[in-house]
Chain A
Amino acid sequence: MKRKTGGPMSAGLGAVFMRGNRFRHNFLTALLLAPATAWLVVFLVLPFIAIAVFSVGERAPEGGYQAAFTLAQYANLPARATAFWNTMMLAPVGALACLLVAYPVAYYLALKAPQRWRLILLALVVIPFWTSLLMRTYAWMYILGGRGIPALLAFIGIEDVRLINTPGAVLLGIVYGYLPLMILPIYVSLERLDRRLLEASADLGATPLSTFLGVTLKLSLPGVMTGFSLVMILLLGEYLIPTLLGGGKVFFIGNALVDLFLQSRNWPFGSAIAITLVAVSVVVLIAANRISTRVSGTRRVDLI
């Protein structure tokens, strides 16, 4: 550490100067943080407070919100138990499916792909992400719909196959939609991997498989956990893909929210569900972080 001020003679002066400096430092920090703080307060904290207030209110006779103080909305939560259950099943299963597809891709990109192709291949993963998920999901509706793949199958003699509005279509949509969010963190952690460790492992007589399991996989776990929780949290609020590719027959908590706010216009009950969903997401996030810290020490890949 270097001392900023001169010798002991100027110590008193230095203390005064330092105090001014600290003030300036704090002031600068506050100034720099102000826009982000204002943004978060206006667009996150205030709406959240509004939702919290709504959630203890009552539905007005014509729908909407009516001031009250009651916990009836929370007591009514079991009425959407199926939706919660479906969501709690979809989120980990979808994230796992995503992981199974994403890991080999990330592995190839980080360790096998030729250096000069790497950037282009990475761009190919990311660029589709710039298009709205809605557009891409609608495209899948046509690919899976009667004029898409089933029409090709009919051409070779397999008639009346139905792909759209099946659980498989929903899973496909989820994997497709969230793949980049899984590939990127895994890619980052694999890319940082020290190749000498792999060589050392091979020199010491490990087979490629045991090197992969013992070294590569273990060291990429932080990326895996980051991608997993990222995808899972987004899936907790998913409603678009089940609606479009599942035909609205599978009811997730996101669908329950849309119906409560836009159809039956029961804002207080919708708010209570939204608050519960936030609480659940926080718990999931904390649990995922705990697990990732435990399995991988302190190293983490922070994308969020």
Chain B
Amino acid sequence: MSKSYRDGLPISPEKFVDQLMRLKRGSIGRRDFLGLTGLGIATAVMAREIGIMPTPAFAAENLGDRMSIATWPNYHDPQTFENFKKDTGVAVEVNVFGSNEEMLAKLQAGASGWSLFVPTNYTISTYKKLGIIDPLDMAKLPNFDGSQEDPRFTSEGTIDGTTYAVPKNWGTTGFAVNTKKLTKPMTSWKEFWDTAMTEGDGRTMVHDYQLTTIGNALKYYGYSFNSLKQDELAKAEELLLKVKPHLFAVSSDYQPGMRAGDAWMTMCWTNDGAQLHRDIPEIAYVLGKEGGEIWTDFYAIPKDAPNKPAGYALLNYLMNPEVAVKEHLANGAPSTDARVNKLLPKEVLDNPILYPAADLLTPLEFGAAATLTDPGRAELMARFKSA
């Protein structure tokens, strides 16, 4: 990197347009928009701007001057990466994704360029099987303390005694309701689907994601969220096809619709539920009493990571409870780490969206690897969407 006279100056209009065009030339997947508008563009511009500044001399190990991480939209405190850059001289480029399958597709294709990424529990065994993630060298992660982690959430990071991934946070999949528009109190998936066809007609959203949409339809009948049984899936399909004409949208980008008041009810992940409720108090987050999904997002390092030292350094940094607590305050998802929970303010720990009552958590199931890759469920989803 040569040092130019422009260093340290704010971005010029030409450069901004250049950057925008560079992003525009990339793919324009519907979900890429999240990346283009949100963290993606901000950090890409930032990383480029910051990245051309000289590396501080005190960077102990040779960490290079940049690395990239693949993660979810609105999932980090941007300040975290700024501080990491200040401490180590490594600029972090953030790639935002919409689904685990997209991440898997990109890693499988090779040369993703990521040195750290955030997979969900049910994909880790698949990554290990395909041999595209490294076992973690725990000696490089002194900030991680396995004894402080809740094993309920963290067990899927370890396969046959080898740790492949360490947890970021956990969460649940429930539904969000605008209680001003839909006043009848709801507590179950049965009520969710029935309301979608009556009072919530034309105002209900389901995920564009077979795992949760089919899983929660199975819950209507009390079947397992992960069911692969023909007859049970047939019942779920029948329900989904019946509900389809009443839906507002089939989309995993549900915050805009809920915020604008176009949608009154949607399938929803914990962190989105917390964000919606925080900004619009009449939006409530409900866990179906029949059960549903519980999940944990992990950090893992790809086998072909171009900058493993920086990947480990950032991971270790993120495992520092002082840092992690800010991450949790920013993204709103609950922590698996007892040390972090100790640092979180009382109102966060008392928030039933983040830390639901034990009796609601008991029936929840972790998504299974087979559920995600099952071709039968994929075809069912296609029939539902094309109906």
A-side interface size class: 35 or more
Whether the Cβ atoms of B28 and A248 lie closer than 8 Å is no
Whether the Cβ atoms of B249 and A83 lie closer than 8 Å is no
Asked if A91 lies at the interface with its beta carbon under 8 angstroms from chain B, I say no
Question: Bound complex: CA of A240 vs CA of B382, how far in Å?
Answer: 17
Q: Which of A133, A164, A165 has the most CB of B within 10 A?
A: A165
Asked if A264 lies at the interface with its beta carbon under 8 angstroms from chain B, I say yes
Whether the Cβ atoms of A262 and B33 lie closer than 8 Å is no
Question: Bound complex: CA of A240 vs CA of B36, how far in Å?
Answer: 15
Whether the Cβ atoms of B24 and A247 lie closer than 8 Å is no
Q: Which of A142, A239, A265 has the most CB of B within 10 A?
A: A265
User: Number of A-B pairs whose CB atoms are under 8 Å?
Assistant: 110
Asked if A249 lies at the interface with its beta carbon under 8 angstroms from chain B, I say yes
Whether the Cβ atoms of B101 and A63 lie closer than 8 Å is yes
Asked if A147 lies at the interface with its beta carbon under 8 angstroms from chain B, I say yes
Whether the Cβ atoms of B104 and A63 lie closer than 8 Å is yes
Whether the Cβ atoms of B375 and A262 lie closer than 8 Å is no
Instruction: Mark each residue of chain B from 119 to 132: 1 if its CB lies under 8 Å from any CB of chain A, else 0.
Output: 00000001001100
Whether the Cβ atoms of A266 and B375 lie closer than 8 Å is yes
Whether the Cβ atoms of B108 and A264 lie closer than 8 Å is no
Question: Which of A61, A162, A243, A265 meets B105, CB within 8 Å?
Answer: A265
Query: In the complex, how many angstroms separate the beta carbon of A152 from the nearest chain B beta carbon?
Result: 13
Q: Given the interface contacts A138-B33, A247-B251, A249-B249, does A261 sit within 8 Å of B378 by beta carbon? A: no
Stretch of B147-155, B253-261, B347-355, B358-366 contacting A (4+ beta carbons < 8 Å): B253-261
Instruction: Enumerate chain B residues within 8 angstroms of A150, measured Cβ to Cβ.
Output: 262
Instruction: Mark each residue of chain A from 234 to 274: 1 if its CB lies under 8 Å from any CB of chain B, else 0.
Output: 00000110011001110100011011011111100000000
Asked if A80 lies at the interface with its beta carbon under 8 angstroms from chain B, I say yes
Instruction: Mark each residue of chain A from 134 to 168: 1 if its CB lies under 8 Å from any CB of chain B, else 0.
Output: 10001001100111001000000000001011000
Asked if B387 lies at the interface with its beta carbon under 8 angstroms from chain A, I say yes
B-side interface size class: 35 or more
Chain B, range 86-134, C-beta contacts under 8 Å to A: 99, 101-102, 104-105, 108, 126, 129-130
Q: Classify the interface of chain B: helix, strand, loop or mixed.
A: helix
Question: Bound complex: CA of A141 vs CA of B33, how far in Å?
Answer: 13
Asked if B385 lies at the interface with its beta carbon under 8 angstroms from chain A, I say yes
Query: In the complex, how many angstroms separate the beta carbon of B374 from the nearest chain A beta carbon?
Result: 9
Instruction: Enumerate chain B residues within 8 angstroms of A248, measured Cβ to Cβ.
Output: 208, 249-251, 385
Instruction: Enumerate chain B residues within 8 angstroms of A86, measured Cβ to Cβ.
Output: 386
Chain B, range 14-34, C-beta contacts under 8 Å to A: 24, 28-30, 33
Question: Which of B24, B101, B208 meets A264, CB within 8 Å?
Answer: B101
Q: Given the interface contacts A249-B247, A256-B382, does A265 sit within 8 Å of B262 by beta carbon? A: no
Whether the Cβ atoms of A247 and B130 lie closer than 8 Å is no
Whether the Cβ atoms of A141 and B29 lie closer than 8 Å is no
In the complex formed, the residue of B with least CB distance to A259 is B382
Whether the Cβ atoms of B378 and A134 lie closer than 8 Å is no
Question: Which of A132, A138, A141 meets B24, CB within 8 Å?
Answer: A132
Question: Bound complex: CA of A59 vs CA of B256, how far in Å?
Answer: 35
Instruction: Mark each residue of chain A from 59 to 72: 1 if its CB lies under 8 Å from any CB of chain B, else 0.
Output: 10111100000000
Asked if B168 lies at the interface with its beta carbon under 8 angstroms from chain A, I say no
Asked if B373 lies at the interface with its beta carbon under 8 angstroms from chain A, I say yes
Whether the Cβ atoms of A247 and B29 lie closer than 8 Å is no
Chain B, range 35-77, C-beta contacts under 8 Å to A: 36
Whether the Cβ atoms of A62 and B126 lie closer than 8 Å is yes
Asked if B318 lies at the interface with its beta carbon under 8 angstroms from chain A, I say no
Asked if B199 lies at the interface with its beta carbon under 8 angstroms from chain A, I say no
In the complex formed, the residue of A with least CB distance to B247 is A249
In the complex formed, the residue of A with least CB distance to B206 is A248
Asked if B315 lies at the interface with its beta carbon under 8 angstroms from chain A, I say no
Asked if B381 lies at the interface with its beta carbon under 8 angstroms from chain A, I say yes
A-B residue pairs in contact (CB < 8 Å), sample of 16: A62-B104, A63-B104, A63-B105, A141-B256, A145-B256, A145-B257, A162-B248, A165-B249, A165-B262, A247-B250, A248-B251, A249-B249, A251-B382, A262-B99, A262-B105, A265-B104
The interface of chain A, by Cβ under 8 A from chain B, is 59, 61-64, 79-80, 82-83, 86, 132-134, 138, 141-142, 145-147, 150, 162, 164-165, 239-240, 243-244, 247-249, 251, 255-256, 258-259, 261-266
The interface of chain B, by Cβ under 8 A from chain A, is 24, 28-30, 33, 36, 99, 101-102, 104-105, 108, 126, 129-130, 202-203, 205, 208-210, 244, 247-251, 256-257, 260-262, 373, 375, 378-379, 381-383, 385-387
